[in-house]
Structure 1
Amino acid sequence: MKIFSPLIAAVFIMLFQQKMYAQKVETAKVPGNYTIENCVNEFDLAQAKKTNSGYQYWFADKKFTEENTLKMSIVEPGKSTHAPHRHPEEEFFYILEGKASFYLNGKTVEVGPNTSLYCPPNSDHGISNAGDKDLKYLVIKKDLR
């Protein structure tokens, strides 16, 4: 009987973990006040937030979503929203218009429209406008509440 003890213990632990996971799924936050009207967000310049480098428009911020945010940033030529930085969340940029200078962990590359840029967790990263027209890009980030 002692030969099977580790196997029985492993099965018991697996069953316990499955039960705990099932309870977590049952108690997960269920979307509350989401409607077709507030789930569709069309860009409105009047609702954009002015910044030192241009403006930002939040399609979905952390007050609205379950865990992800979506923001559009417009950056004037020669400017950036902030200096290179790091945070525990991963982040995506998607270039819509203009020319971006993307900094990641000591290296820089210039890219244009229809390019995605990935920032792994805890990496030094930054984005700035490397062109002579406004840079427009989306920022997609998971909110670690």
Structure 2
Amino acid sequence: MDYVLAPSDVVWNKIDNPRVPGVGFAFSESVIDEDYTGVYSAQLGLIGPGGSSKPHRDPYNHAFYFVKGTGSVHIGQQTWDLEPGTIVKIPRGEVHGFENTGDEDLVFLVVYDPPYVAGSRFEKK
């Protein structure tokens, strides 16, 4: 098990899907998964400048912690601004979407409950 993951160790996997999650996305492989815990899992995510996701629902709870950049999140009919330090909780089944409103990457940590493990749907960035 790796105890420390430096930013230079992160391998970003590009996802440009006009449906879900959207355009300009990249995710890491799981950074916390069953080799550490079976209670939750976590990934790093990135939305490039101008990138966004269409409103969608997911079958699991997930929470986002924003590390870098600015953006907005839409949950149901409400919209909130995002900046570093913002935490967003999305309950399973809730319609939501994100957009990067800034000039730099919007970088975030996603925590999934129950655990979610990304498949091989990625293209290396």
- Whether TM exceeds 0.5 here: the answer is yes
**Structure 1 segments unaligned to the other structure (5+ residues):** 1-36
Does 2:46 correspond to 1:74? yes
C-alpha spacing 1:144/1:61, structure 2 compared with 1 (3 Å)? closer
Does 2:101 correspond to 1:130? yes
3-state secondary structure, aligned to 2:51: coil
| Residue equivalent to 1:26 | none
Query: Normalization by structure 2: what TM-score?
Result: 0.72
Q: Structure 1 vs Structure 2: percent identity of aligned residues?
A: 27
CA distance in 2, matches of 1:55, 1:113: 18
> Superposition pairs for residues 54-73 of structure 1, below 5 Å?
54-57=25-28, 58-61=30-33, 65-73=37-45
> Superposition pairs for residues 101-112 of structure 1, below 5 Å?
101-112=72-83
C-alpha spacing 1:104/1:61, structure 2 compared with 1 (3 Å)? same
Please state how far the C-alpha of 1:50 moved relative to its aligned partner.
Answer: 2.0
Q: Which amino acid aligns with 1:56?
A: F
Q: Which amino acid aligns with 1:67?
A: V
3-state secondary structure, aligned to 2:2: helix
| Residue equivalent to 1:113 | 84
- 8 Å CA contact retained: 1:62, 1:143: no
CA distance in 1, matches of 2:54, 2:81: 16
**Structure 2 segments unaligned to the other structure (5+ residues):** 17-23, 117-125
CA distance in 1, matches of 2:43, 2:115: 16
> Superposition pairs for residues 1-145 of structure 1, below 5 Å?
37-43=1-7, 44-45=9-10, 47-52=11-16, 53-57=24-28, 58-61=30-33, 65-80=37-52, 82-143=53-114
Number of residue pairs the alignment of both structures matches: 107
- 8 Å CA contact retained: 1:85, 1:126: yes
- 8 Å CA contact retained: 2:38, 2:115: no
Please state how far the C-alpha of 1:131 moved relative to its aligned partner.
Answer: 1.1
Structure in which a larger fraction of residues adopt strand: 2
- 8 Å CA contact retained: 1:110, 1:130: no
Structure ranking higher on relative contact order (CA contacts 8 Å, 6+ apart): 2
3-state secondary structure, aligned to 1:86: coil
CA distance in 1, matches of 2:45, 2:115: 21
RMSD: 2.3
Q: Which amino acid aligns with 1:38?
A: D
Query: Normalization by structure 1: what TM-score?
Result: 0.63
